[in-house]
A and B are shown apart, each in its own frame.
Chain A
Amino acid sequence: MKEVLRVVDLKKSYHKNEVLKGVSFSVDEGETKVIIGPSGGGKSTLLYCINMLQRPDSGEVYLDGEEITKGKVRVNEARQKIGFVFQHFNLFLHLNALDNVRVGPLKVRKMSLDEATQTAVAALKLVGISEDLWSHYPAQLSGGQQQRIAIARAIAMNPRIILFDEPTSALDVELIGEVLKAMKDLAYGGMTMLVVTHELEFAMEVANEIMFLENGVIIEKGPPREVIMNPKSERIKRFLGRIHKEES
């Protein structure tokens, strides 16, 4: 399999607090990798460093074999190929659903209006947003609808990989399912994905590998069944126990 993303010894500190202490891994084409771990463990920071919304202090990120952490690289061009789905959706509040998805293809990819519209419509359909919602504005939509539109916004850029930063954490319980379904469809459709989440069932079902990130290092990684059912480290056992308790 072709390697899409490679992260090498990534480090990041805020003031004197070292959040990432040298993280390395790679994601191959079509793979879904899931990162779990306690909050404050560096999961979000890791994603933000991969698409340079935060500058890593050291280490390298390669996209399709090309280093994007080098100073001279055009960050904007690299970001076009890296989709990002945020915990709080971050839809553009002044644009309706269709325009939220269309603005990237139109303004960044410089597509014609027709082409951008087709791309956006296809992406919206993929995440199950029906036509009657396309003219709705974010403030008129449920969290689940907003997050699915945010996923469509990422898809419409035709990225090499999509990063998900706890995409269901800000949602009411009854809305989580529709977002996870959209993500599963995406994964089964062959999209390369890196997902930070606490949704273990989702991880069990679609992840090729689970990584457990705590205190800025990957403590354990492996196939979901092994990591979740049969973790080697005590810390993961405790963490998983806490999650199960929260769920029940």
Chain B
Amino acid sequence: MEKFLGIFNRFGSLLLSGLGYTMFITIVAIVIGFFLGFLLAVLKIYGRGVLKWLAIAYIELIRGTPMIVQLFIIYYGLSQTGLVRLTPLQAAIIGMGLNSAAYQAEYFRSAFLAIPTGQSEAALSLGMSRAQLILNILLPQLLRIVLPSWTNELVALIQYSSIAMVVTIMELTAVAKYIGSKTFLYMQSFIIVGIIYLALSFIFTRLMVYFEHRLSIPGISVTKARV
């Protein structure tokens, strides 16, 4: 116990900044992934020709390769070409955002398909354009359906943000490794950050479940809306 407290005393601020990086990367990445993922899903379902094909190819490419490889390509690979030089933080955020987009696109796509087609027909029969249909009718329902998958993605992304250490970012896991190397208290420092990850995941999961209930459509139970 003394050893744990010792770590907190000596490295408290470092742990705090590691937590900051972890949260920042996770949240920015999931927001990038949200918008890009939504666009990809729309293209995959409603797109024609090249656009549809590109969306499918992108999703398959990202989901078919490890995130760590993608990060290496974006950070080391791109800078080697001399075209773009990203900072480690930019590389991590962009890499994880692009990665999350592919997964979120699939969540969105299955949520789109879960909405009964009759509602789309009804909206079109009122004279709505496709954009109006998506904005006024599909999106509000889509977001509710996608919430549980989105919770999964958020929790997964919190853990995956640890991969950002390979592009030299001092997020939580990197901090733990550093503390371990300074103090040889590897076990204690990794247990500490493990508990922090666990707490983060727990808090976010509870928060999302709260939103799920808060936003549920009257008369339709949350569990039913998941179908």
A interface vs B, CB < 8 Å?
A: 51, 53, 76-84, 86, 88-94, 96, 103-104, 107-108, 136-140, 150, 153, 157
Contact between chains at A103 and B136 (CB < 8 Å): yes
CB-contacts of B112-163 with A (<8 A):
116, 118-119, 121-129, 132, 136-137, 140-141, 144
Q: Identify the stretch in B87-95, B97-105, B200-208, B212-220 within 8 Å (CB) of chain A at 4 or more residues.
A: B212-220
CB distance from B142 to the nearest CB of A (A): 10
A104 to B123, CA, bound (A): 8
Q: Given A139-B217, A140-B218, do A107 and B136 touch, yes or no (CB 8 Å)?
A: yes
**7 contacting pairs across A/B (C-beta < 8 A):** A76-B124, A79-B126, A83-B125, A93-B119, A103-B137, A104-B126, A136-B218
CB distance from B184 to the nearest CB of A (A): 57
Q: Given A77-B127, A79-B124, A79-B125, do A137 and B118 touch, yes or no (CB 8 Å)?
A: no
Contact between chains at B127 and A139 (CB < 8 Å): no
CB distance from B85 to the nearest CB of A (A): 46
Contact between chains at B127 and A93 (CB < 8 Å): no
Q: Given A137-B218, A157-B127, do A86 and B118 touch, yes or no (CB 8 Å)?
A: yes
Contact between chains at B118 and A88 (CB < 8 Å): yes
A104 to B217, CA, bound (A): 20
Closest to B121 in A: A53
Cβ-Cβ contact count across A and B, 8 Å cutoff: 80
Contact between chains at B217 and A93 (CB < 8 Å): yes
Interface of chain B: mostly helix, strand, loop or mixed = helix
A76 to B140, CA, bound (A): 22
A174 to B128, CA, bound (A): 34
Contact between chains at B124 and A104 (CB < 8 Å): no
Contact of B126 among A93, A108, A138, A139 (CB under 8 A): A108
Inter-chain pairs besides A139-B219, A157-B126, 10 sampled, C-beta below 8 Å:
A51-B125, A76-B129, A84-B125, A89-B118, A103-B126, A103-B137, A104-B128, A107-B136, A153-B126, A157-B127
Contact between chains at B219 and A137 (CB < 8 Å): yes
Contacts of A138 in B (CB 8 A): 219
Contacts of B121 in A (CB 8 A): 53, 84, 86, 90
Contact of A90 among B118, B127, B136 (CB under 8 A): B118
Contact between chains at B220 and A90 (CB < 8 Å): no
Contacts of B118 in A (CB 8 A): 86, 88-90
Contacts of B129 in A (CB 8 A): 76
CB distance from B81 to the nearest CB of A (A): 46
Contacts of B136 in A (CB 8 A): 103, 107
A139 to B218, CA, bound (A): 7
Contacts of A79 in B (CB 8 A): 124-127
Among A96, A107, A140, the one with the most B-chain Cβ atoms within 10 Å of its Cβ is A107
CB distance from B10 to the nearest CB of A (A): 52
Contact of B122 among A81, A86, A139 (CB under 8 A): A86
1/0 per residue, CB under 8 A from A, across B12-25: the answer is: 00000000000000
1/0 per residue, CB under 8 A from A, across B190-227: the answer is: 00000000000000000000000000011110000000
CB distance from B199 to the nearest CB of A (A): 34
Q: Given A90-B118, A90-B122, A94-B141, do A76 and B127 touch, yes or no (CB 8 Å)?
A: yes
CB distance from A75 to the nearest CB of B (A): 8
Contacts of A51 in B (CB 8 A): 125
Closest to B129 in A: A76
A84 to B122, CA, bound (A): 7
Among A53, A81, A94, A150, the one with the most B-chain Cβ atoms within 10 Å of its Cβ is A94
Contact between chains at B127 and A137 (CB < 8 Å): no
Closest to A77 in B: B127
Contact between chains at B126 and A137 (CB < 8 Å): no
A228 to B25, CA, bound (A): 72
CB distance from A126 to the nearest CB of B (A): 17
A90 to B137, CA, bound (A): 12
The 8 closest A-B pairs by CB, nearest first: A139-B219, A80-B127, A90-B118, A84-B125, A90-B122, A140-B219, A104-B126, A79-B127
A185 to B136, CA, bound (A): 31
